[in-house]
Amino acid sequence: MKDLIKQALDNGISRRKLMKGLGAAGLGATAVKTLADTLTPATARAADAGPVSATRTITAQGGTLFTQQLKDAGVEFMFANPSTGDGPIYDSLVNEPGIQLIKGIQEGAVVAMADGYARLSGKTGVCGIANVGLPNGMTQLVNTYKDNIPVLMVVAAFGTDVAGRDYAQDYDHQEPMMSPITKWFWMAESTQGIPDVTRRALKFAATPPSGPVFLSIPDNLLKAEATAAIMDQKRFTVSMKVRPDHADVMTLAKMLIEAKNPIMTVGDEVTMGQAEKDVLELAELLGLTVAGQGGQGNWSKPFPTRHPLFIGGFQSTMRFPGEVDIHLNMGDQGAERPMKGATLISIRSNPTGLARANPVDLGMVSDIRLAARDIIDAVKGMATKERLKQIADDRSARTRDYHASQVKMREMIATDLNSGSEIKMERLAVELEAGLEKDTIYVSDCDSGRTMDPLLSWGGADKTYISTGPNILGWGVAAATGAKLARPNRPVVSCVGDGSMLFGGPQPLWSQARYNAPVTNIVVNNRSYNNERNRIWSFIAGQQFKTGKDMLCYNGSPDVDFAKAAQAFGVEGEVVKDPAQLKPAIARAKKANVDGRPYMLDINVARDGVGAASTWYPAYSIADQRTRKV
């Protein structure tokens, strides 16, 4: 050991080697650390930090340093559109088969593809967009941020040698404008530091509660060459699988066993935590009535909607189950609301969201799956199997009856509305339920179409539903493309309104065509921002309502033929106007998908609501204003 210490003092051997040697000499861990701290100069310890976490050191352009760090972090796809400054990034991929580029042709579509990929893969979606197009990408990044989806957005910024001179596409300090819609943002400060800021960005994006991050790399740093360490990303991966407090769990278990009329609400954090089966097991163990998911900001439906314990959306006051005494909220931001007379216990993986809008009686920060497991174990430890079965049977009888009545109610509605010459959304929903495969991933971006949702089956062994909480339209088709990339062996359907399709444009279809993404794209086309008009007229009840003049929301004149638009972008499709044609049209779409091609169904559905019959709009002819016919 004496030799080892001398060697450390004389030659400055690495801290790691020193500690290993001290350990081998018989010192305990604490003693080793203390001695090493004493013997190792601070500068040497700092220098050690790189090599310890590095998988390799390379000398390359900044663009290569960036993509090699991505590669070592397990990134397989990069969604992108080009800009001049990004050149070194894409140069680096010319001979790099480990990262597949997926090109989009508008920044919003690029971001939404990365977002859809992240939601379905559970991995961080990486997108590189043109610096000048950053605001385009920001529109879709709001969905990503609000729904806590891990995405790394990178741009090649103006070089440090010219930034701030007010060149045509330069504006000062673009990074801070990302602040409200990212977890973290940063500008790389050196070529050598690019791998380090990249691995840091990936860590922030993926660490729960996850979310989008923004990285700006000046283009001169991307072009310059440096020697830098590529990091082992796994060593920066932090587990956030936090268990709930044991005493709280025991208290909660007792309350759930003794409750007279408990309810459990479920939300997106169940999906994010992959806790679907565990939450279902908890519900069945105790016969808990389940509500929530969908609406009120949720983007997923983790609990099987056809399960007899599920009763639909959550409200603070509900006819069924009536007066609740215990409200257990499992990861649903929207359902964390007081119910009169009930004790609210909210378990959230997102500590920022917990008790943010409303008070809770017992708030618990925990991984949702671990919390469900611990509660299950605690409950099983407090009551016999026979007693628990009796409790579950007694409680669930009412819920099962209510659930059955709702199924009957929906069937009655679907039958009643399944007539007439126009296609109603409910009819479309019935045809989709019958025609889509049970393992379909259904990507919904259709505000008016929410009445379709209860007529289809979600969760468990049924279809997977994903949407966005904020409803920033224009997301669906691009997100479905990313979803198909993440889950190529499952059917993927996008269902968007004509409003959403006009926001997002046909650009995502171009990516579907280029990359042979077999996605069925449904446009629920009522030629209107239907719900927007309804809200404007009803909430305000102003002059538009009083005069019947729809100033903005009617999307007809000209009527857009989305099938033709799709064809122009390389995707075949058809317009469907006759209810009888829905079934064969869906079959044709499925056949195209089976053959490896995307398909577009432009389904003309009836408008409904305030002013639905009116096609009036404030007409104006620019041509008529001319005094010279040019």
Partner 1 sequence: MKKYLVAVAFAASVLAIVSVHAQTSPQGPEGAAQGQPGARTPGQVPTTTPAAQAPSPAPPPGAFQQAGPPGALPDGDGKEIVAVACTQCHGPSVFMQLRMGEAAWKNQVYDMVLRGAQIGPDEIGRAIKYMATAFGPGVPFPGPQAPAVTLADGAGKEIVEGGCALCHGLDRIAVAKRAPDQWKRIVDRMVFFGSPLSDDQQKTALAYLSAQYGAPQTAAK
| Window 26-65: residues binding partner 1 (CB under 8 A) | none
Q: Which stretch binds partner 1 (CB under 8 A): 65-73, 292-300, 456-464, 566-574?
A: 292-300
Q: Which of 25, 541, 568, 580 binds partner 1 (CB under 8 A)?
A: 541
- Pure H helices in 40-159: 42-53, 62-72, 87-91, 107-121, 134-146
On whether the CB atoms of residues 304 and 310 are closer than 8 A, the answer is yes
Span 426-445, contacts to partner 1 by CB under 8 A: 426
The one segment of 147-155, 222-230, 487-495, 614-622 that binds partner 1 by CB under 8 A: 614-622
Per CB under 8 A, the segment of 51-59, 230-238, 258-266, 534-542 that binds partner 1 is 534-542
Question: How far lies 174's CA from each of 96, 178, 188, 260, 345, in Å?
Answer: 30, 7, 13, 55, 41
Minimum CB distance to partner 1, residue 408 (Å): 5
| Residue in 33, 200, 450, 514 binding partner 1, rule: CB under 8 A | 450
Count interface residues toward partner 1 (CB under 8 A).
81
Kindly state whether residue 614 participates in binding partner 1, applying the rule CB under 8 A.
Answer: yes
Instruction: Sort strands 212-218 and 262-266 into parallel, antiparallel or unpaired.
Output: unpaired
Closest CA to 149 of 110, 119, 111: 119
Which residue among 260, 546, 628, 629 contacts partner 1 (CB under 8 A)? Answer: 546
Residue choice 393, 559, 561, 578 for contact with partner 1 (CB under 8 A): 559
CA-closest candidate to residue 311, choices 322, 296, 300, 325: 322
CB of 315 to partner 1, least distance (A): 5
CB 99 within 8 A of CB 77: yes
Determine whether 532 is exposed, middle or buried from the number of CB atoms within 10 Å of its CB (0-12, 13-18, 19+).
middle
- Please state the closest distance from residue 357 (CB atom) to partner 1, in A: 5
Q: Which amino acid is at 296?
A: Q
Cα separation values, 421 from 418, 601, 605, Å? 10, 18, 10
Smallest gap from residue 261 Cβ to partner 1 (A) = 14
CB of 616 to partner 1, least distance (A): 6
As beta bridge partners, residue 441 has 464, 492
- Can you tell me which of 101, 255, 388, 513 binds partner 1, judged by CB under 8 A? 255
Q: Is 613 in the site for partner 1 (CB under 8 A)?
A: yes
Q: Does 261 bind partner 1 (CB under 8 A)?
A: no
Smallest gap from residue 560 Cβ to partner 1 (A): 11
Residues numbered 570 to 599 that lie near partner 1 (CB under 8 A) are none
Question: What DSSP assignment string belongs to 442-470?
Answer: EEEE-SGGGGTGGGS-BSTTSBEEE--SS
Tell which one of 103, 410, 487, 514 touches partner 1 (CB under 8 A). 410
Give the residue with the Cβ less far from partner 1, 26 or 618: 618
Any contact of residue 557 with partner 1 (CB under 8 A)? yes
Q: How many CA atoms within 13 Å lie on the side-chain side of 122?
A: 5
The CB-of-490 to partner 1 minimum distance in angstroms stands at 27
Least CB distance to partner 1 at residue 121 (A): 27
548 is an interface residue for partner 1 by CB under 8 A: yes
624 binds partner 1 (CB under 8 A): no
Least CB distance to partner 1 at residue 338 (A): 4
Among 413, 513, 514, 560, contact with partner 1 (rule: CB under 8 A): 413
Q: Does 534 bind partner 1 (CB under 8 A)?
A: yes
- d(Cα 86, Cα 101) in Å, to the nearest integer? 13
Q: Among 334, 347, 328, 339, which residue's Cα sits nearest to residue 262?
A: 328
Residue 448's nearest CA partner among 483, 430, 473, 465 is 473
Q: Which of residues 299-358 bind partner 1 (CB under 8 A)?
A: 312-313, 315-320, 334, 336-345, 356-358
Least distance to partner 1, CB of residue 545, Å: 6
Q: Interaction with partner 1 in 134-153: which residues (CB under 8 A)? A: none
Of 179 and 358, which CB lies nearer to partner 1 in the complex structure?
358
Among 405, 418, 419, 516, binds partner 1 (CB under 8 A): 405
CB atoms < 10 A from the CB of 254, how many?
14
Each as own residue / partner, the long-range contacts of residues 22-28 (CB below 8 Å, 24 or more positions apart, any chain) are 25/1, 27/1
What angle separates helix 2-11 from helix 15-24, to the nearest 10 degrees?
170
Site for partner 1 in 498-527 (CB under 8 A): 527
C-beta closer to partner 1: residue 19 or 253: 253
Peptide bond between residue 321 and the one before it cis (omega within 30 degrees of 0): yes
**Shortest separation between residue 101's beta carbon and partner 1, angstroms:** 36
Q: Work out how close the CB of 355 gets to partner 1 at its nearest, in angstroms, rounded to a whole number.
A: 8
According to CB under 8 A, which residues from 190 to 249 bind partner 1? 245-248
Cβ proximity to partner 1, 191 vs 604, nearer residue = 604
Question: Judged by CB under 8 A, does residue 542 bind partner 1?
Answer: no
d(CA 512, CA 27): 61
C-beta of 411: minimal distance to partner 1 in Å?
9
257 lies in the binding site for partner 1 (CB under 8 A): no
* Binds partner 1 by CB under 8 A, chosen from 156, 221, 288, 455: 455
* The Cα angle at residue 218 between residues 53 and 90, in degrees rounded to 5: 75
| Closest approach of partner 1 to the CB of residue 391, in Å | 20
Q: Pick the stretch among 148-156, 493-501, 572-580, 602-610 that binds partner 1 (CB under 8 A).
A: 602-610
Task: Please tell me the distance from the alpha carbon of residue 253 to that of residue 231, in angstroms, as a whole number.
Answer: 44
Q: At 81, list the tokens.
A: 């559109």
Q: Which is nearer to partner 1, 184 or 616 (CB)?
A: 616
CB 55 within 8 A of CB 232: yes
Cα separation of 66 and 61, whole Å? 9
Cβ atoms of 304 and 393 within 8 Å: the answer is no
Tokens encoding 114: 């990365």
Per CB under 8 A, contacts with partner 1 among 364-403 are: 402
Q: Does 7 contact partner 1 by CB under 8 A?
A: no
d(CA 177, CA 135): 10
